[in-house]
Amino acid sequence: MKQDLLTFASWSPEEVKSLLELAVTIKQTPTAYNQVLAGKSIVALFEKPSLRTRVSFDIGINKLGGHMVYLDAQSGKLAGREDNVDTAANLACWADAIVARVFSHETLEQFSSAANIPVINALCDKYHPCQGLADYLTMFEAFGKTEGLTMAYIGDGNNVTHSLLIVGALLGCHQVVVTPAGHEADPSIVSQAQDIAAQTGVKIVQSNDIDAAIGADVLYADTWLSMGDDTPLEAIKDKFMPYQVNEALMEKTGAKYVMHCQPAHRDLEITGSLIDSDKSLLMQEAENRMHAQNAILTKLLGS
Ligand code: CP
Ligand code: NVA
């Protein structure tokens, strides 16, 4: 039976841990995996812009011996031309998997039900699982473990927050989520993470008070306005500015490293100088997108 990756919430802690270990192995010994996708074609459909996800999937699939077809749903006018279920069923006639970046999580569920091939979530309104796995791979490399560490996410409760919560809970990493009032993470997804955390012994703290991040090992920032959110920056800037991740906050919390999924907005959610500092893991996270995704592709498509 085919397996999708829409969110890691349905995966066991052991499955995600072994996926992380596979990513480490693939990163260390890429030639051993260079035929995993030989003869296979993967369609990557994007309803939203992308730099890292698009390029890391394309180059990563090539390194596994496979072939990627990029579909830009916006400029190709695919969106709305036919029903999602028909798009997905057609793609499954030729492709071995679908990677999709979409506005609505529901679209992924429609793809999943209509296509008898794996569907991989490349970001939706609720989750960004490939990012989550790459980020914990990066933490694992930086600290030699994920268990018992604390990740403090600071900013808007969004898709990245949700995947960090779920994957972190699965990998034994304590979570602090600090947001301005009214911008909290989705309670139903926090509750999924809490269920996992209860099994793995992870503590999840949510707060509007930035001091909740004191003692964290890593501070994590993301954009204050996600793709598809047309709120003008000026309307939220004053509310979010006290939550900027900067050198003073690194000092105050004692965090060793700073992370950000990128695209980053210098001197808004994170200072440019912190991005460029030796505390920054941003480029390692970007590089690890490819290794994490290649582990996912190997797990879902490798024989
Ligand atoms: N982090 C991330 O997903 O980047 P892109 O939007 O450029 O793919
Ligand atoms: N939360 C951001 C992540 C970008 C990779 C967004 O959805 O735009």
Using left for φ > 0, alpha for ψ between -120 and 50, and beta otherwise, residue 48 falls in beta
Residues whose CB is less than 8 angstroms from the CB of residue 273 and which lie 6 or more positions away in sequence, other chains included: 247
C-alpha of residue 53 to centroid of ligand 1, in Å: 5
**Phi and psi at residue 100, in whole multiples of 5°?**
-140, 130
Q: What is the mean pLDDT of each run of 10 residues along the chain (303 residues)?
A: 96 98 98 98 95 97 97 69 86 95 96 97 98 98 98 98 98 98 98 98 98 98 96 98 98 98 96 97 97 98 88
* Predicted local confidence at residue 77, as pLDDT: 60
Q: Among the atoms of ligand 2, which is closest to the Cα of residue 123? A: 7
pLDDT at 82: 82
Would the pTM count as exceeding 0.85? yes
Q: For ligand 1, is residue 55 a contact (CB within 6 Å)?
A: no
> CA-to-CA distance for 48 and 36, rounded, in angstroms?
28
pLDDT at 79: 64
Instruction: Tell me the domains of the chain and their CATH numbers.
Output: 8-127+289-301 (3.40.50.1370), 131-285 (3.40.50.1370)
Among candidate residues 4, 96, 156, 222, the one labeled active-site is 222
Instruction: Tell me what pLDDT residue 87 has.
Output: 86
Tell me phi and psi for residue 122, to 5 degrees: -100, 20
d(CA 73, CA 44): 10
Strand partners, 69: 43
pLDDT value of position 108: 97
- Residue tagged active-site, from 101, 162, 174, 291: 101
